[in-house]
Amino acid sequence: MRLRILSGLGLLAAAASLTGCDSQPSTVKMADTKVDAAAKLKAAKVAKAQFAAKVKANELGQIPVLMFHRVIDKPGTTDDRTPQQFRADLERLVKEGYVPITATEMVTGKIDIPAGKHPVVLTFDDSSPSQLTLNEAGVPAPNTAVAILKDVAAKNPGFRPKATFYVTRDMFGKSAREEQAQVLLWLKDNGFDIGNHTRDHLNLRGRSHKEVEEQIGSIAKEIHSLSNINPTTIALPYGNQPSKREWALRGGKAYNHQGAFLAGYTPAASPFSKAFDPVGIPRIKVMEKKGDCKQFCSEAWLDWLKSNPDMRYTSDGDGSTVAYPKFKTPYLRKTFTQWSLPY
Ligand SMILES: [Zn+2]
């Protein structure tokens, strides 16, 4: 009996204490929740940093931006690749843990690839039909660059079929506006990126501001009217910058670019690094280690990045953070402080 009374009292006491808890000043409660949330956030950040360290993330590291031109059976210049060479180029990237991102994703810092992987940007200049020709059903012709890229991606899950096409008035060899629109829209619908390569492929060095604006603005306007795409980046013909480097980013009032790509000779800085220069982003010609390409083309640089992994961009798999070894902190661009994850 006593016991029962006691337990009854105990229940009452428990109920009272619950009420008591509820009647605590709300500021105390809020402070508690805040402390709790902050602790949780801190723990999550520690876990993220530990994971970043485990996969050796280095999101301030360098990114190879590869420059392709035509993909044809009988190369006319050392800029061209045969379909077999191009397939082998891609297979090497697969084997070494690279995942393609677009030039737009790179310059806007939207690099969302799995942990431990390295971004690579595949760029194609001059809008040649060897890069993309579609049949009447909208299927890329065999042995075009896009067909090979899609095939390699299908055989290697995780290797994204992403690339950036730098377009001139050549428009993949199409002259009818409807056909030009078909190719651009196909690229857009299939997740490819379209960039500006000036209307007439002019060397912009030494040209007047007006001429530079006209060359950049007129093709941007044309691309927009055909496909409703506003190119985010530009590749400068011959890699030559105009008298004022900043002119490369503007094609009149309506057309602005966030990055201008050159035609040589090193891997590019991470967009999160102070070394990143949006007005002059280097690219690498795709070529074996011979002749002029002994040191500064793709085979040489991919070898170098492979043997210098602490210089190469490696992802932590989290698109919302910028992870890197703490030692590299002084190189972080201020704009990305909020997302930084040093370890
Ligand atoms: Zn070109």
Per residue in 191-238, pLDDT (tens digit) is 999 999 999 999 999 999 999 999 999 999 999 999 999 999 999 999
**Ligand 1 centroid from CA 202, angstroms:** 9
Indicate the residue type of 259: G
Q: Is the dihedral of CA 334, 335, 338, 339 positive or negative?
A: negative
**Ligand 1 centroid from CA 155, angstroms:** 30
Inter-residue contact 103 to 233 (CB < 8 Å): yes
The pLDDT assigned to 18 comes to 43
**Quick one: which of 172, 173, 169 has its CA closest to 196?**
169
**Ligand 1 centroid from CA 127, angstroms:** 9
**Ligand 1 centroid from CA 97, angstroms:** 28
pLDDT band for position 24 (cuts 50, 70, 90): low
* Other residues' Cβ atoms within 10 Å of the Cβ of residue 216: 30
**Ligand 1 centroid from CA 197, angstroms:** 7
How far is it, in rounded angstroms, from Cα 253 to Cα 220?
11
Ion ligand 1 nearby residues (CB, 5 A): 125-126, 237
**Ligand 1 centroid from CA 34, angstroms:** 56
The pLDDT assigned to 25 comes to 60
The pLDDT assigned to 14 comes to 43
How far is it, in rounded angstroms, from Cα 215 to Cα 231?
14
Q: How far is CA 178 from CA 174, 225, 242, in A?
A: 9, 11, 33
Inter-residue contact 249 to 277 (CB < 8 Å): no
Q: Which two tokens stand for residue 255?
A: 């057309």
Look up residue 240 and give its DSSP letter.
P
User: Average pLDDT, stretch 127-144?
Assistant: 97
Average pLDDT, the chain: 92
DSSP class per residue in 268-303 = BPPTTBTT--TT-B--EE---SSTTHHHHSHHHHHH
The pLDDT assigned to 21 comes to 47
The pLDDT assigned to 8 comes to 41
**Quick one: which of 331, 297, 229 has its CA closest to 65?**
297
Cis amide leading into 265 (omega within 30): yes
pLDDT band for position 27 (cuts 50, 70, 90): low
Please enumerate in sequence order all residues whose Cβ is within 8 A of that of 245, keeping only pairs 6 or more positions apart, or say none. 260, 279, 280
**Ligand 1 centroid from CA 273, angstroms:** 28
User: Average pLDDT, stretch 94-108?
Assistant: 98
6-19 pLDDT per residue, tens? 444 444 444 444 44
User: Average pLDDT, stretch 45-53?
Assistant: 96
User: Average pLDDT, stretch 89-112?
Assistant: 98
User: Average pLDDT, stretch 299-312?
Assistant: 98
Helix (H, G, I), strand (E, B), or coil: what is residue 129? coil
Please enumerate in sequence order all residues whose Cβ is within 8 A of that of 183, keeping only pairs 6 or more positions apart, or say none. 132, 134, 171, 172, 174
How far is it, in rounded angstroms, from Cα 182 to Cα 137?
11
> With pLDDT > 90 as the criterion, what percentage of the chain qualifies?
88
User: Average pLDDT, stretch 165-192?
Assistant: 98
**Ligand 1 centroid from CA 237, angstroms:** 5
The pLDDT assigned to 30 comes to 67
**Ligand 1 centroid from CA 238, angstroms:** 6
How far is it, in rounded angstroms, from Cα 221 to Cα 226?
9
